[in-house]
Amino acid sequence: MICNDVQKLIDYAIKKELITNDDIYVVRNQLMEALKLTDWEENLSECSDETIDEILAPLVKYACEKEIISDTSNSHDLFDTKLMGILTPMPREGVAEFNKRYTANPKEATDWYFDFSKKLNYVRAGRIEKDLKWTYDCEYGRIDITINCSKPEKDPRDIAAAKTQKVSAYPECQLCPENAGFAGYATHPARQNLRPVPLTVNNEKWQLQYSPYSYYNEHCIVFNEKHIPMIIDDEVFEKLFDIVDYLPHYFVGSNADTPI
């Protein structure tokens, strides 16, 4: 039964072109290792139209039942991200695909990249669907209102576990490039399925990624590869214009909170 559930995830990865038939044994073996499976039963799982959340749920449940992970919402997220990381192409592959499409058209590149981020379940589309959204016509114009319901509620057991978590300075923050592929821990999310793409901003190396819990459609983040404070100064305008030059179909803003 569990082999059938694993096979569904492999079928999903092939169908979504995250892996190819050449990758099957490596991916299967790594999934078996994560689930501590020592035997494999060949089966023909009909590739159904189940969502990625529906495919991952029985695997997470199995890991809890077998005490591979603890049964808390944070452990579930760390574990299902670990599984998705096994299916996630290497950064060089994602970057090559993005750049190939970018030369044709920047919008084509971000359309592909957003879809890729959803297929990887890095952008948790199933949870974003739970957000409440509506518009309200007021005397000043139309207001878009969103209530974000996609971030999971904190589990009290996770809060307790976070208190005993050893403090680590790696990665220094959630917007450092070291997050790509990172396993996460009690107070830092797993990012094995994160694949940012590089860009140049104000002659410096920056990266682009989507927000896992978007507040608006195709909500993305651009960040400096260096871990330096966000400040609002004259250069911010150079940076913002570089970003809209690079992605002219996107709107950009700075939410730095330490103006000088």
Query: In the complex, which residues of this chain contact Zn ion (CB under 5 A)?
Result: 172-173, 175-176, 227
> Which residue type, as a one-letter code, is found at position 59?
L
Q: How far is the CB of 218 from Zn ion (least distance, A)?
A: 23
Residue 111 Cβ vs Zn ion, minimum distance, rounded to whole Å: 28
Nearer to Zn ion, 141 or 229 (CB): 229
Which element (helix H / strand E) includes 173? none
Query: What is the closest distance, in whole angstroms, from the C-beta atom of residue 75 to Zn ion in the complex?
Result: 25
Q: Which long-range contacts (CB under 8 A, 24 or more apart) does 236-245 make?
A: 238/202, 239/201, 239/202, 242/200, 242/201, 242/202, 243/199, 243/201
Measured CA to CA, the distance from residue 236 to residue 28 in angstroms comes to 46
Nearer to Zn ion among residue 3 and residue 208 (C-beta): 208
Which CB, 57 or 176, lies closer to Zn ion? 176
The Cα 101–Cα 99 span in angstroms is 5
Report the nearest approach of Zn ion to the CB of residue 231 (Å).
Answer: 14
Whole-number minimum distance, CB 242 to Zn ion, in Å? 20
Task: Report how far residue 26's alpha carbon sits from residue 200's, in angstroms, rounded to the nearest whole number.
Answer: 35
Instruction: Please identify, using beta-carbon distances, which residue of 65 and 172 lies nearer to Zn ion.
Output: 172
Q: What is the secondary structure of 75-104 as a DSSP string?
A: HHHHHHHHHHHHHPPPHHHHHHHHHHHHHH
Strand (E) or helix (H) holding 41: none
Beta carbon of residue 169, minimum distance to Zn ion (angstroms, whole number): 10
Of 160 and 173, which has the nearer Cβ to Zn ion?
Answer: 173
Are 88 and 120 within 8 A, CB to CB? yes
Q: Which is nearer to Zn ion, 61 or 227 (CB)?
A: 227
Give the whole-angstrom CA distance, residue 241 versus residue 95: 22
Residues 6 or more apart in contact with residue 8 via CB below 8 angstroms: 45, 47, 48, 50, 55
